Structure 1
């Protein structure tokens, strides 16, 4: 990942299949790249987040979508935005099946305007306390 300033990642789940992505994100945050993870449904059941949480701090922020009254409500958006210019919006989860087993579709868009809109949406959700920082 060639990020120099920021990375925004959202997703429904994060499996051990993405250990290399987790390593990359941790490394980038240690280099001063601001990483905002907007995840997780049922964070307690996802072991990969234990490792990420050990590195959270000034440059690595992890946000949880807490359980809602509506049991079917979930964070289902999957997007990655890098340096507020390059955005991937996809149907694929960060899991083995999301990458290898399923038929998924996404679009990578190079647009500062779109990247800002994505970031603004999630910033707004933090301010509204829809997401809670871990």
Structure 2
């Protein structure tokens, strides 16, 4: 993971428990890694304030707004690196998602799967399901 070029992250929530991850994302984007972060209802996510200050050419943040159906949400939890490795998990980026909850995930070292994940989110941006912040 030393020469990363792209990073896709999705998450229902991002808690202050992941402050170190936020710092790493900012550092990576400032070093030229293209980061796309997909978030659910950013207006209710205080932990995104710092990331929003650094959004720009290499850090793109996409929001899934509240829907008419109040139960609809971005619920996918994915981290994909360089369209080569993809972590798909049930765990939120929160304390309980990492400590205490019973969660399950899978790391796929597959260019095909990584490209499919990127394609899904690219299409959702194109269809305006997500809006860039």
* Normalised-by-shorter TM-score class: over 0.9
Alpha carbons 1:8, 1:80 under 8 Å: kept: yes
Calculate the aligned-residue CA RMSD, in Å. 1.0
Shift of 1:2: 3.8
Aligned residue pairs, count: 133
CA distance in 2 between counterparts of 1:89 and 1:67 reads 23
Report the counterpart of residue 7 of structure 1 in structure 2.
7
Report the counterpart of residue 21 of structure 1 in structure 2.
21
Give a deviation string over 1:31-66, Cα, whole Å, max 9, x none: 01000001123x223221000000000000000001
Report the counterpart of residue 129 of structure 2 in structure 1.
130
Report the counterpart of residue 81 of structure 1 in structure 2.
80
CA distance in 2 between counterparts of 1:75 and 1:3 reads 29
Measured at CA, do residues 80 and 130 of structure 1 come closer, stay the same or move farther in structure 2, by a change above 3 Å?
Answer: same
TM-score, structure 1 as length reference: 0.96
CA distance in 1 between counterparts of 2:3 and 2:17 reads 21
Shift of 1:69: 1.1
Measured at CA, do residues 3 and 24 of structure 1 come closer, stay the same or move farther in structure 2, by a change above 3 Å?
Answer: farther
Unaligned runs of 5+ in 1: none
Unaligned runs of 5+ in 2: none
Alpha carbons 1:3, 1:83 under 8 Å: kept: no
Report the counterpart of residue 59 of structure 2 in structure 1.
60
